[in-house]
Structure 1
Amino acid sequence: MNDITVAQALTAFAPWLEPTDAELDAIDAEMPLITAEGDLLDAQIATLDRTPSELDERRIRRARRRVLAARAALANQAGTGDVA
């Protein structure tokens, strides 16, 4: 049986397991892309069990454009060295 000791429980919350400031900045810079991909996924999931209507197709198209725009913006930031 694997019993968790007090030392293991305390080590699980050790400060060195937290993300660094650089990692948090990278996540923050990618947040528009993450949000756009989530919106695209929501639009696609909404049409899984039915035939997409014209409105659904527009919603998916707009979501795809937002994903592409967010990817382009992120790639341009990486190319210039700017972060957020």
Structure 2
Amino acid sequence: MKAHLTNVEPSSADLSAIEAEWPLIEAELAVLDAEIANIYAAEHGGPSPLARRRLRRAEARVTRVAAELAARPADLREVA
């Protein structure tokens, strides 16, 4: 069965939801970057204390931003 793809643009509500969640998306991307750096470092002698600290700080930022988003009123954090 073939899926029919259409070029549907995101609605204003979709874009607003993405914008509202962008701090969390950005924080999660920082974790991903730190994890990738640690994987690379593991193949080259192991991650440095600074690299491990970077990952811990990125993980803490995700937790902090997620808590901030959860504390927002429901109408401000609705997601498409």
**Do these two structures clear the TM 0.5 threshold for a shared fold by scoring above it?**
yes
* TM-score normalised by structure 1 residue count: 0.73
Counterparts of 1:22 and 1:46 in 2: how far apart (Å)?
35
Residue of structure 2 in register with 1:34 after alignment: 25
Which residue in the other structure is 2:3 paired with? none
For 2:50, give the aligned amino acid: L
Question: Which structure 1 residue ranges, 4+ long, deviate > 3 Å from structure 2?
Answer: none
Structure 1 partner of 2:67: 72
Structure 1 gaps of 5+ residues are 1-11
**Could you tell me how far 1:81 is from its partner in structure 2?**
2.6
1:59 counterpart residue number: 54
User: Any unmatched runs of 5+ in structure 2?
Assistant: 1-5
Tell me what 1:4 maps to.
Answer: none
Report 1:5-20 matches (<5 A).
12-13=6-7, 17-20=8-11
Using the size of structure 2 for normalisation, the TM-score is: 0.76
State the distance in 1 between where 2:75 and 2:58 align. Answer: 25
Instruction: Compare CA radii of gyration and give the structure with the larger one.
Output: 1
Q: Verify: 1:22 aligned to 2:13, yes or no.
A: yes
How far does residue 53 in structure 1 lie from its aligned partner after superposition? 1.2
